[in-house]
Amino acid sequence: MQYLNPIIDALHGVLNFFYGFTHDLTLSIILMTLLVKLVLHPLTRIQLRSMKAMQVLAPHMETLRRKYKDDPKALNQEMMALYRAHNVNPMMGCLPMLVQMPVLWGLFRLLYQKNLFGNATLDGFSWLRLDEIPSHMYGQFAQHPQLLAVLIIPLLVAVTTWFQQRMSVTDPQQARMFVFMPIMVGYFAMLYPVGLSVYWIVSTTAYIGEYYLVVGRPHPMVAAPPKSQAAPAAPEPGKPKGERGAKSGGAGRRAPIVPGKKGAKRA
């Protein structure tokens, strides 16, 4: 993990910069997190757009998998045709994340360092230090019931994670797979310093804002047929119906018989 040291040092410098004029470590963590999200926003925008496009195509991809389950070559060709028809590059959802991961992991490592926060406390909770680990306070709840307020931190971590997941995962099957993710993340927040949870809450909330900005309000996946599988175009408006009947071999409405002289004599 030595390659992360330059990133950690740079983030530490940013944290000290904000602390230099705010003199508040909690606010400094919030500002540093927002700055990192702002710098990485162009990559996040690409990732969100690609993710949304893949969500829209997911039902059609599943249809192709069932149809060509015994022919991998044909399945690959149809998948590529589907991507080209919708101008979707599946790799664009992964590449931005690969670029962001070192920065986000460096930020995690920085905030997990011992003695980083000193005696700084969380705003509004003068008794709660940023380097405090909530699980270490369990034994004090009986003597100091007010310490139960520390559980608000893991709860906020779990709630913001759940909301982010609810927005980004619109497939019901995938949502069932990740149903325990917010609970697990909330549990981890009880084992990590409070300062790290502050970063997580702010970062997750910022991601929710980015999602609304780039994608809009979440909604179920679109089930319209893709361009490559679209139905034939409807006839042009104003076109006589008789022409359609003529092209189909006279199956349309029969032409009216105009009575002539013979018809008149018979009458």
User: Terminus-to-terminus CA distance in the chain, angstroms?
Assistant: 104
Residue 252 CA: distances (Å) to CA of 241, 244, 248, 256, 257: 8, 7, 8, 12, 15
Q: What is the pLDDT of residue 27?
A: 93
Helices (H), 112-252: 152-168, 172-177, 181-189, 194-214, 241-247
Q: What is the pLDDT of residue 199?
A: 92
Residues 6 or more apart in contact with residue 223 via CB below 8 angstroms: 59
From first to last of the 267 residues of the chain, give the pLDDT tens digit.
Answer: 677 888 888 999 999 999 998 989 999 999 999 999 999 888 888 888 877 777 778 778 888 888 888 888 888 888 888 888 887 777 766 666 777 788 888 888 888 887 888 888 887 777 788 888 887 776 666 566 666 677 888 899 999 999 888 877 666 666 676 778 888 998 988 888 888 999 999 999 998 998 888 877 655 544 444 444 444 445 555 545 444 444 444 444 444 444 444 444 443
Q: What is the pLDDT of residue 158?
A: 92
Contact, 99 vs 157, CB < 8 A?
Answer: no
Amino acid at 226: P
Q: What is the pLDDT of residue 238?
A: 53
Tokens of 2: 């030595």
